[in-house]
C-alpha cells in the first residue's frame, strides 16, 4: 500500500490526490516535523490526532489509527524535498497554507521552537509554494490561538 502511495506521489505528473492519499501525505508530513527535533512525544502525537480529527471528521480511535499509518509512511517517505514537492504538485494552494498551519501547530504544541523544526518549516514552506512571509504570519496566528 505505501509503495503504491509513494509511486503515485512521486510520478512525473501526479494526479490530484484522492482523500486517502491526502490524509496520509498530510499526516506523514506532520509526523516528519514532529520528529525533526529528535523528540516525538505524546503531546505531538495528540496534536496530530487532533488535527486529523478536526480536518477529516474522525473520532479519536480512527485518528490514532491514521496517525500510526502516517508514522509508517513518514519512515518510508522519500527525502523531504521530493516528498513536499510532490504534495505541492497534487494539492491546491489554499490547502497547502493549511498544511503549514498544521505543521506550525505541531511545532508549537510543546512550547519550544527547536532550530531543527524551524529549519524544516523554512525549507518546506517555499517547497509548498508558501512564502516565508505567509509562513511567518501563519506561525503568528497559531501562536495567538
CATH number of the CATH domain containing 52: 1.10.3680.10
12 domain-assigned: no
- Any domain includes 116: yes
Q: Are 33 and 120 in contact (CB under 8 A)?
A: yes
- Candidate from 3-7, 64-68, 93-97 with smallest mean pLDDT: 3-7
Structural domain contains residue 34: yes
Distance CA 66, CA 19 (A): 13
Query: Count of domains in the chain?
Result: 1
Domain region containing 71: 19-144
Residue 49 confidence (pLDDT) above 80:
yes
The reply to whether 47 falls in a domain is yes
* Residue 119, in any domain of the structure: yes
120 in a structural domain: yes
Closest by alpha carbon to 34, among 67, 60, 5, 61?
67
**What pLDDT, in 10s, does the model give residues 68-114?**
999 998 988 777 877 787 678 767 888 889 889 999 999 999 888 88
Q: Residue 132 and residue 36: Cα distance in Å, rounded?
A: 19
What's the pTM? 0.85
Amino acid at each position: 500500500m505505501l509503495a503504491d502511495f509513494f509511486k503515485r506521489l512521486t510520478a512525473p505528473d501526479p494526479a490530484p490526490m484522492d482523500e486517502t492519499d491526502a490524509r496520509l501525505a498530510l499526516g506523514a508530513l506532520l509526523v516528519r516535523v514532529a520528529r525533526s527535533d529528535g523528540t516525538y512525544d505524546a503531546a505531538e502525537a495528540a496534536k496530530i490526532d487532533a488535527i486529523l480529527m478536526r480536518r477529516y471528521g474522525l473520532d479519536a480511535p480512527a485518528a490514532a489509527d491514521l496517525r500510526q499509518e502516517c508514522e509508517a509512511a513518514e519512515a518510508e517517505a522519500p527525502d523531504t524535498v521530493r516528498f513536499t514537492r510532490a504534495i505541492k504538485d497534487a494539492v491546491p494552494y489554499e490547502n497547502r497554507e493549511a498544511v503549514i498551519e498544521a505543521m506550525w501547530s505541531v511545532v508549537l504544541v510543546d512550547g519550544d521552537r527547536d532550530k531543527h523544526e524551524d529549519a524544516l518549516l523554512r525549507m518546506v514552506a517555499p517547497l509548498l509554494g508558501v512564502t516565508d512571509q505567509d509562513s511567518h504570519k501563519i506561525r503568528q496566528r497559531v501562536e495567538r490561538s
